[in-house]
Amino acid sequence: MTRRGRRVGLPLPALLLAGVAVAFFALPLVGLLWRAPWSNAWTYLTDDAALTALRLSLVTSLCATALSIVFGVPLAWLLARVDFPGRGAVRALCLLSMVLPPVVGGVALFFALGRRGVVGQYLDEWFGVTLPFTTAGVVVAQTFVAMPFLVITVESALRQLDPRLEDASRTLGASRWYTFRRVTLPAIRPALIAGAVLSWARAFGEFGATITFAGNFPGTTQTMPLAVFLSLETNPEEAIVLALVMVAVSFAVLVGLRDRWFGAVGRPEQVAP
């Protein structure tokens, strides 16, 4: 009876196709594991350069996630709640970096924030701040590609949230800001967590924009993806080990992002009748 119950609703062709999809994602991982130089793995792992790259990756990706939340949540709120002319265009602009090749994003950032860039020249002149080829530049590049994931997730949750929850809060004497902190944020928390994790994953794996905008300097801008790419040419065995480290970290985080968070994204609050 249990077997029967489990099979209900999943036609065989869909099951087969889904199986192919799982295999498609699993096989490259198997390939990595297959070719991994297990006997030398520990040496590569404890290598100073590798550890430096991993630390840099973790620090910059977390910074990028924090920036994505700080700026992305208000942006999502603006897109979801404020009906202004050109909202569609603004949304497209803010999500553009999701579809843009990261290298193009990096080049564009360079022209904008580089030492001779539109804004960058003033940053340099007035504040003495240079972003390209610095760790801060890495964070900027990562934020640029990662924030849209947070914005799109949170905006969707805000759209599905019953606006009367906020109305109820206002009629109870709460200001807009108190309402946002005490009603809106808790209600969209699952989406916020999911969006933050997606952003972090994107920032952690970021390569193209980083190498274009921030370069590839060990210790300051050489993140894990860059280190993997570099060692592919010099030492493929090391590249595989570093790649597996990235896989392990990302996999652990995504597993941590449990179904319930995905499942609860944007579900409107409901009161049982």
Partner 1 sequence: MTLDARIGLRLGSLDLQVELAAHPGEVVALLGPNGAGKSTVLRCLAGLEPVDSGRVSIDGVVVDDPAADVFVEPEDRPIGFVFQDYVLFDHLTVLENVAYGMRARGVAKADARQRALEWLERFDLATYSRQRPGALSGGQAQRVALARALATNPRLLLLDEPLAALDVGTRAAVRRDLRQHLASFDGMRLVVTHDPVDAHALADRVVVLEAGRVVQTGTLAEVTAHPRTRYVADLVGVNLITGDVVDGVLTTPTGARVVIADAAAGPALATIRPHSVLLVRGDATGSSARNSWPGTIVDIDRLGERVRVVIIGELPLTAEITAAALDELQLRLGDRVHASVKATDIEVTPA
Could you give the CA distance from residue 32 to residue 105 in angstroms, rounded to a whole number? Answer: 29
To partner 1, the closest distance from the beta carbon of 251 in angstroms equals: 30
To partner 1, the closest distance from the beta carbon of 179 in angstroms equals: 8
Could you give the CA distance from residue 89 to residue 93 in angstroms, rounded to a whole number? Answer: 6
To partner 1, the closest distance from the beta carbon of 73 in angstroms equals: 17
Query: Residue 202: enclosing H or E segment and its boundaries?
Result: helix 189-204
Instruction: Give the residue with the Cβ less far from partner 1, 219 or 263.
Output: 263
To partner 1, the closest distance from the beta carbon of 183 in angstroms equals: 6
For 134, phi then psi, to 5°, come to -125, 165
Instruction: Give the residue with the Cβ less far from partner 1, 62 or 174.
Output: 174
Our CA dihedral for 62, 67, 73, 76, rounded to 10 degrees, sits at -110
Instruction: Give the residue with the Cβ less far from partner 1, 55 or 267.
Output: 267
Counting other chains too, the contacts that 172-176 makes at CB distance below 8 Å and 24 or more residues apart are none
Instruction: Give the residue with the Cβ less far from partner 1, 166 or 238.
Output: 166
Counting other chains too, the contacts that 9-16 makes at CB distance below 8 Å and 24 or more residues apart are none
Yes or no: say if 73 and 154 are a contact pair by the CB < 8 Å rule: yes
Instruction: Give the residue with the Cβ less far from partner 1, 132 or 266.
Output: 266
Residue ranges binding partner 1 (CB under 8 A): 162, 164-165, 167-175, 178, 182-183, 186-187, 189, 269-273
Yes or no: say if 201 and 250 are a contact pair by the CB < 8 Å rule: yes
To partner 1, the closest distance from the beta carbon of 269 in angstroms equals: 5
Instruction: Give the residue with the Cβ less far from partner 1, 101 or 186.
Output: 186
Indicate left, alpha or beta for 141 from its phi (over 0: left) and psi (-120 to 50: alpha): alpha
To partner 1, the closest distance from the beta carbon of 150 in angstroms equals: 21
Q: Which amino acid type is present at position 127?
A: F
Yes or no: say if 226 and 208 are a contact pair by the CB < 8 Å rule: no
